[in-house]
Amino acid sequence: MRTMYRRFPLSGTGYTLLDFQRAAEEASGGTLQLFFDRYVYGTTPLPWEEYLAYAGLDVARADTSLKPWIGLSTADAGEKTRITLVIAGSPASAAGLDIGDELLALNGIRVRTADLAERISQVAEGEEVTLTVFRSDRLREYKVKVVRAPVPAYKVVRTFKPAELKKSIYQAWLGSKFDSSAAPTGTGK
């Protein structure tokens, strides 16, 4: 990434996937065409579990049940909370919410990014919430059905007591010491 920032500064025109592939191949010293064909240009899922295991890491589900969800993200800018993402096919999309809408309230109570997920998590699956937004200087209300998140959240955790080779790969990759005492949830692979 340092190479990409150097070659394509933020003030520039940006870069293509081919530019990124070339830089990655320079760094690796060989061709990465098969990798890019499968995982970047293609639709083959990355084998996260296999590759992270080399460095003493496991992929674990972040929660035991899927949380209530409406399919949008927000960000606060000063006093305003703006919708920054509306996932296609989500309840928020079906209700008509859009990126750039200023979110004011959930069920008539002021809401900010920091408390939006918590407030939605308190609503039962199948119930509707009313989101109040400003769009083009007009106050609007949208009824949004709460559903279960379609994809569970995952996290990467350290393996409990990995082999020395895995520790050395971790340390070389991340530039920090592998602390086995900080790995309470790993599987021990």
103 shares a domain with 161: no
Cα gap 25→19, rounded to integer Å: 10
Tens digits of per-residue pLDDT, 77-116?
A: 999 999 999 999 999 999 999 999 999 999 999 999 999 9
pLDDT for 149 beyond 90:
no
Would you place residue 65 in the very low, low, confident or very high pLDDT band (cuts 50, 70, 90)? Answer: low
37 shares a domain with 14: yes
Q: Tell me what the pLDDT averaged over the chain comes to.
A: 90
Cα gap 181→161, rounded to integer Å: 9
pLDDT at 183: 47
13 shares a domain with 76: no
19 shares a domain with 87: no
Structural domain boundaries, residue 129 = 68-148
37 shares a domain with 5: yes
143 shares a domain with 162: no
128 shares a domain with 77: yes
CATH label of the domain that carries residue 143: 2.30.42.10
Average pLDDT rounded to a whole number, residues 10-20: 90
108 shares a domain with 96: yes
- Tokens describing residue 91: 């309840």
Helix (H, G, I), strand (E, B) or coil at 119: helix
pLDDT for 163 beyond 70:
yes
